[in-house]
Amino acid sequence: GAGVSQTPSNKVTEKGKYVELRCDPISGHTALYWYRQSLGQGPEFLIYFQGTGAADDSGLPNDRFFAVRPEGSVSTLKIQRTERGDSAVYLCASSLNSGSRAGELFFGEGSRLTVL
């Protein structure tokens, strides 16, 4: 597609359950980012991929959070044993790392996670 696609757009789950959120970046974008946005806050960095490898995962809040990008395109953010505090909008973005548009992040519309 033309833009960054995220699924599901909405996910309601119960405390303790496992959740997967998917991101399909813009074709040709080598860099992929996950952010989390809580109500009234700016996006908070979670993890950044360059190709297949996680170049920076310093924003993951704890070991319940994990993300993969096995073929350097689609990425999945995985959250184990969800807690109510994990409720937020999870944003994915992709970018080019060269050329005139280097550094510009293109965001998806987000996956809203609600943990009951």
Task: Return residues touching other proteins (CB under 8 A).
Answer: 3-4, 33, 35, 40-45, 48, 50, 55-56, 59, 91, 93, 97, 103-110
Rounded to an integer, what distance in angstroms lies between the CA atom of residue 14 and that of residue 73? 29
Q: Considering beta carbons, is residue 47 or 82 the nearer one to other proteins?
A: 47
Pairing status of strand 19-24 against strand 75-79: antiparallel
Three-state DSSP at 85 gives: helix
Q: Considering beta carbons, is residue 2 or 14 the nearer one to other proteins?
A: 2
Provide the minimum distance between the beta carbon of 40 and other proteins in the complex, in angstroms, as a whole number. Answer: 7
Rounded to an integer, what distance in angstroms lies between the CA atom of residue 106 and that of residue 29? 10
Q: Considering beta carbons, is residue 20 or 44 the nearer one to other proteins?
A: 44
